[in-house]
Each structure stands twice: as structure tokens, then as C-alpha cells.
Amino acid sequence: MNRQEMSARIAAGHGFIAALDQSGGSTPKALRAYGIADEGWDGDEEMFALIHEMRSRIIRSPAFSGAKVVGAILFERTMDGSVDGTRVPQALIAKGVVPFLKIDRGLEDEADGVQLMKPIPALDDLLERAKGLGVFGTKERSVINAANASGIAAIVRQQFEVAAQVLSHGLMPILEPEYSIKAADRSEGEALLREEILHGLDALPAGEQVMLKLSLPVTANFYRALVEHPKVLKVVALSGGYSRDEACVELERNDGVIASFSRALLDGLRASMDDREFDVELGEAIDAIDRASTMKTTT
């Protein structure tokens, strides 16, 4: 796939984007869910080797293909690694899956109801390296915890600033201002978020597009104006703490939005499974998330 073909695959949305980007802070939790306890590794190198093997097992599974998985978001170490001797981005492309890279370095402490991204050192170098490896785009996450107008404006402003840097390298940014599903004022805050994003989109130069990764909204199709905006290639949804079944039900209610699930994709996978068990479990998860991404219950 060339970049134009990758863009077309994402825009068509015939499937979903797998989030395989657990970083250092979330890796132990992901390994525990996979059935590997903390005492199963000694130090960061062993921990990252185990999570890389889990991701490699997913990527090499026959259940994981471009038929239903249109993209995959990678942690930097995963991007730099290999699957059976092939660099991971190229292994994905060979299966018809568009590679993305998580570029954020974690969150600042909360202020004004939000957690901005920490600075991203040497980002220009990282973006050039990612592009050279065949990566199509990036993902950058920050978090909204309350309907604070100034905080939400700041978080969206930062997202678009990072997106501009990504676009300058010829890569496609996924802006991810996640709204915590635990927030009591989420309906009010989502209205503020939608308006700030629309302002940011309208200010983009002609001919440029971004992607958006958003929490599933309280009201079905609340982000329709974003889905239909000409400067948005695709809107994808995170599971945000919902179970897979819950996330799929919510996703089905939002037309034009596809999944970009992490934990909700990996639930049920265990290191102790043989290959047949693993492939069946992964296939069932992929089928369920694909259905919710492509077969909607609203119009």
C-alpha cells in the first residue's frame, strides 16, 4: 500500500483500528490481563519483550488481517521491533493494515479539569524515523476530566499544535482528547469539546485533514458534525473503560465512527492459550468490534 491507498482504506472505514500501543506505564496491567503476573519478568527489558511477543502473536494470527482491521496503533518499541524477521510496520502493511504510531509521552498533572500532554522531546526526529519505516500517521492522547471551558480549550489547542507538527512531516495525526466516561458533567463537556474541535478544524489550511479519536458520546451521533467535516479523514472511538460488549453497543449508535479499541480488543487473550484457542478468541473479538464499527443501529 502506498500512502494514498492507506488514506483511502481509513476513509472507507471497512473495519476498525486496533490499538496495540500500551506504553511503559500501562504495560504491567496489560500483561496481568494476558495472564503474566508481575513476578513473570525481571526489569523493563523483559517486560517489554513479553508485551512485544503478545503483540507479535496478534499480528501473525490469521484472524488479524486487513479484512476487518484497517489500521493498528503501535508503541515506539513495537514500531522498532520485528515480527518473524520483518519490521512491524511492514508486517502490518503486508496484511493490509495501516500502521500508526503513538507519540505522546504521558500526561501532565490535572489543571482546569484536564491533563495536557507532557512535552514530546525530539518529536521531529521520531516523525521522520516513523515515516521512513512506512508509518502512515500518529496518535497523541490527553484527557478531559471535567466540563471546564478554559481547560477544554487548552487541551484542543495543544492537540492541534501537535497535529500541525505531524502534518508538516507528511503524516496523518489522530487527535485524542479523551473525555473520561466517569465524569459527571460529560454531556456539558462534550458540547464544549465539539465546538472547540470544530473551531480547530475550520482553522486548518486548505487541503489538510486530521483524524479524531474520541470517547463514545453520551448522546448518539453527537459528533456527526465532526464525522461529516471535510477536514476529518475519519472519527474513531476509544472504549474508555467500557467492557467490549458495552463499547460495541455504544459504538453501534454512532454512524460513521469506527472503533480504535485496546483493552476491549485484548480481553480474553491469555499467554497460556495454544494457537488455536488464541486465534479463535481473537477472531471473536475482531468480529464483534468489526460489526459494531460497520453495522449501525441508527440513521
Catalytic residue positions, numbered:
176, 213
Distance spanning both ends of the chain, measured CA to CA: 32
Give the helix/strand (H/E) hosting 289: helix 275-294
Distance CA 283, CA 278 (A): 8
Cell of 122: 525530539
8 Å CB contact between 116 and 154: yes
DSSP assignment string, 116-177: PBPP-TTHHHHHHHHHHTT--EEEEEEEE-S--HHHHHHHHHHHHHHHHHHHTTT-EEEEEE
8 Å CB contact between 75 and 102: yes
Distance CA 193, CA 188 (A): 9
Give the helix/strand (H/E) hosting 179: strand 172-179
Distance CA 238, CA 1 (A): 26
